[in-house]
Amino acid sequence: MNAEDPTAAFRVEARELLDQVEQALLDLSYRLDDAALIDSVFRGLHTLKGSGAMFGFDSLAAFTHHIEGAFDRVRKGRARATAELVATVLAARDHMRALVEGDAISADGEAILARLAAAVDAPAVEPAAPVRPVAPDTAATGGWQLSFRLPRQALAHGTNALALLDELRALGDCTLVAHRGAIPPLDQLAERDCHVGWAATLRGDVPRAAIDDVFLFVLDDMELSVTPLPPVGTAAGARGAAAAPDRAAPETRAPRRVARAVQGELVRVPAARLDTLMDRVGELVIAQSRLSQLAGDRHDLVLRSVAEEIERLAAELRDTMMVLRMVPVASLFGRFRRLVHDLARETGKAIALETAGESTEIDKTVSERLFDPLVHILRNACDHGLEEAGERIAVGKPATGIVRLAAYQAGGAAVITVSDDGRGIVRERVRAKAEASGLVAPGQALADAELLALIFHPGFSTAAAVTNLSGRGVGMDVVKREIERLRGTIELVSTEGAGTTITLRIPLTLAIIDGLLVRVGTGRYVIPLAAVEECLELTAEEDRRSLGRSLITLRDRLVPFLRLRELFATAAPPDPHQKIVVVATGRERVGLVVDQIIGSHQTVVKALSPFHQGIGTFSGATILGDGGVALILDVAQLVARGQQAESALGQAA
């Protein structure tokens, strides 16, 4: 984004405003009489309308004006907030987003405005009392006498003074007089400074809050005094009253100052620049690794000292860069509130979304790539996991179904769970579908985890009827594949009648990982350290004894292992003291037989070429300190291969 492009800056601000409006609307859907939420929606719409007109988005300003007007009626108690009104304004919010991006269709807007008129014209509660209590001094039947001066930098910051005056005149019978005494001589005039003040007489039954709304975004920095006028025909006893600046209550002004102070400490940086900086840090880590290796090969204490200092600084820079790329999962979870709201309306179910651990932070790239898998999981939970209200009540459950999103950090990974309190997965259906599809033989013994794992098979579904929303299991293979591309794991636990929980375990970052460097033959490979459980020695005798079975006993449990020499077709003779690196994904473990464990390694992940991406055994590559290349093993793929080998051995036995 070009920092000097005002249109691009407006689009960024407009997206944030629309997101805030959406969250307020979703909150309002649960508390339809919440005056603070109604005001929040109105302020967001009011700001968007004014900013849109200022930056030339006339269609957006015109459309938003209708939505703002509808909410103003609700705000003043002339209409009531309903679920249908909230749903309509959410649809309007989507249309406004399209107008911001420049790809809207006018017919959509006309249909939404028709729905809006019907929703607002619904019978109101009689008498039409205001939504919020009005203090005695917030309205004046005679009007107001105003004296105000905008902040000097208002024009430079994008404020349209003429638009503010037009809004003020629209409130009632308004007379404006400009005060030009503070305008400096021409040779001292700064063209972007605002030097004019105004006096205004505003007659009519105008709430005091309406005046504040006009100046909402300059209120704390401008000069403003407001004095009530007496009703027409009465003595003007208030004419001599002192014009006290009555802008907002102190408790209201204080949060604004705090919010602005916090905003002042933030700098908006395009994501592409962070990605570029991360690439540079990765290259620095590689160069530092090479320097450390060179220093280790020489007996130069000064060189070693410098290499150690650069290693320390590079590590600190890497950690700082990682923090810069981290975002709280709240930004991800917040996007699903609208999804669940729409699914509840479409399915006719009462659904509540609960979230926990929203302060847990993950890499921004991980957050972006998690969105689609989580959307699919949530659709399954809402459409096929949760029962209808009548069915829930019949089995002693509350009518409202619960979908819960939770996150927490465990070591170098983020754990995200999606759970529901629905009907759970019926094992008989899974088995019947698997047998009908030829995935398992009739009557074949399967552990519960193996049975549930069938849901991740391509095209598998237990839904009695596939809807346009989802089919429990349809596409779960795609979800699993995407999670594994993130070097993560997915687990499913379900209790019939009580619900289902899906657990995703994802690395906190994808750019730089801690790895275990190993050697197989003459090749070197990196195993992500987060997946490593322990390392064992495989003696020549144990190696011979395990030929044909490839199983070891580890604390009274059989664990399959893969000989990477065979997998990679290594021609060099094996090391006499081979090692087994035990890795795990979720509950499944497998051993990887290597010739040598070289040690830990800070691994800068490089993407594989399109030609090599389909191999499956490797998830990336890295450059070593000596300039050589080491492939990063895809642990999820290797564990799956080990489990398949174990199943084949069990069937042969």
From CA 144, how far away is CA 241, in angstroms rounded? 12
3-state secondary structure 214-261: HCCCCCCCCEEEEEECCCCCCCCHHHHCCCCCCCCCHHHHHHHHHHHH
Q: Does domain 271-324 have CATH number 1.10.3470?
A: no
pLDDT at 461: 67
pLDDT at 403: 93
Largest CA distance in the chain: 111
Q: Indicate the pLDDT class of residue 463, thresholds 50, 70 and 90.
A: low
Higher pLDDT, 460 or 409: 409
Q: Indicate the pLDDT class of residue 620, thresholds 50, 70 and 90.
A: confident
pLDDT at 421: 92
Non-local (6+) Cβ contacts of 242 within 8 A are 227
From CA 519, how far away is CA 526, in angstroms rounded? 9
From CA 68, how far away is CA 543, in angstroms rounded? 76
Contact 593, 562 (CB under 8 A): yes
Could you report the per-residue pLDDT of 64-107, keeping only the tens digit for each? 888 888 888 888 888 888 889 999 999 999 899 988 887 655 56
DSSP 53-77: HHTT-HHHHHHHHHHHHHHHHHHTT
The CATH code that applies to domain 329-507 is 3.30.565.10
Q: Indicate the pLDDT class of residue 236, thresholds 50, 70 and 90.
A: very low
Strand order in the sheet with 489-495: 351-356, 401-410, 413-420, 499-507, 489-495
Residues 466-488 have a mean pLDDT of 69
Non-local (6+) Cβ contacts of 50 within 8 A are 61, 160, 163, 167
> Under CATH, what is the fold of the domain 6-120?
Four Helix Bundle (Hemerythrin (Met), subunit A) (1.20.120)
Q: Indicate the pLDDT class of residue 502, thresholds 50, 70 and 90.
A: very high
Residues 498-508 have a mean pLDDT of 88
From CA 480, how far away is CA 317, in angstroms rounded? 33
- State the pairing for strand pair 139-140/206-207: antiparallel
Higher pLDDT, 401 or 485: 401
pLDDT at 402: 92
Higher pLDDT, 259 or 273: 273
Contact 577, 569 (CB under 8 A): no
Whole-number CA gyration radius for the chain: 33
Nearest one of 66, 28, 26, 59 to 45, comparing CA atoms: 66
Nearest one of 562, 534, 531 to 546, comparing CA atoms: 562
Higher pLDDT, 320 or 459: 320
Whether pLDDT at 251 is above 50: no
Name the helix (H) or strand (E) containing 579: strand 578-585
SS3 at position 343: helix
Could you report the per-residue pLDDT of 373-424, keeping only the tens digit for each? 999 999 989 988 899 999 999 999 999 999 999 999 876 678 999 999 999 8
CATH of 512-652, one of 2.40.50.140, 2.40.340.10, 3.40.50.10140, 2.30.30.40: 2.30.30.40
Q: Indicate the pLDDT class of residue 243, thresholds 50, 70 and 90.
A: very low
pLDDT at 133: 36
From CA 94, how far away is CA 327, in angstroms rounded? 24
Return the exposure string of 287-313: e unless at least 16 CB atoms fall within 10 Å of the residue's CB, then b. Answer: ebbbbbeebeeeeeeeeeeebeebbee
Residues 553-579 have a mean pLDDT of 83
Whether pLDDT at 141 is above 60: no
Nearest one of 480, 482, 481 to 502, comparing CA atoms: 480
Residues 470-486 have a mean pLDDT of 72
Phi, psi at residue 122, to the nearest 5°?
A: -60, 150
Q: What is the DSSP letter of 624?
A: -
Q: Does domain 136-264 have CATH number 3.30.70?
A: yes
Whether pLDDT at 262 is above 60: no
From CA 356, how far away is CA 163, in angstroms rounded? 43
From CA 105, how far away is CA 173, in angstroms rounded? 37
**CA dist list (Å): 107 to 15, 22, 63, 113, 249:** 22, 22, 12, 10, 43
pLDDT at 71: 86
Helices (H) and strands (E) in the chain, counts: 20, 23
DSSP 354-406: EEE-TT-EEEHHHHHHHHHHHHHHHHHIIIIISPPHHHHHHTT--SSEEEEEE
- Among the listed ranges 315-329, 350-364, 542-556, 629-643, which one has the minimum average pLDDT value? 542-556
Could you report the per-residue pLDDT of 181-222, keeping only the tens digit for each? 788 888 777 777 888 888 999 888 888 878 887 887 777 778
Whether pLDDT at 224 is above 90: no
pLDDT at 128: 35
Query: Given its phi and psi angles, is residue 448 left (phi above 0), alpha (psi -120 to 50 degrees) or beta?
Result: alpha
pLDDT at 547: 67
pLDDT at 254: 39
Q: How many residues does the chain have?
A: 653
C-beta neighbour count of 233 within 10 angstroms: 6
Q: Indicate the pLDDT class of residue 634, thresholds 50, 70 and 90.
A: confident
Q: Indicate the pLDDT class of residue 59, thresholds 50, 70 and 90.
A: confident
Residues 324-351 have a mean pLDDT of 88
Residues 148-166 have a mean pLDDT of 82
Domain ranges of the chain: 6-120, 136-264, 271-324, 329-507, 512-652
From CA 189, how far away is CA 183, in angstroms rounded? 8
From CA 427, how far away is CA 448, in angstroms rounded? 8
Q: Measured in Å, how far apart are the chain's first and last C-alpha atoms?
A: 63
Mean pLDDT over the full length of the chain: 79
Residues 150-178 have a mean pLDDT of 83
pLDDT at 420: 93
From CA 170, how far away is CA 210, in angstroms rounded? 11
Non-local (6+) Cβ contacts of 277 within 8 A are 321, 324
Whether pLDDT at 277 is above 80: yes
Whether pLDDT at 456 is above 90: no
pLDDT at 9: 78
From CA 287, how far away is CA 393, in angstroms rounded? 64
Whether pLDDT at 178 is above 90: no
Residue 125 burial by Cβ neighbours in a 10 Å radius (0-12, 13-18, 19+): exposed
The two domains 6-120 and 136-264 share their CATH topology (first three levels equal)? no
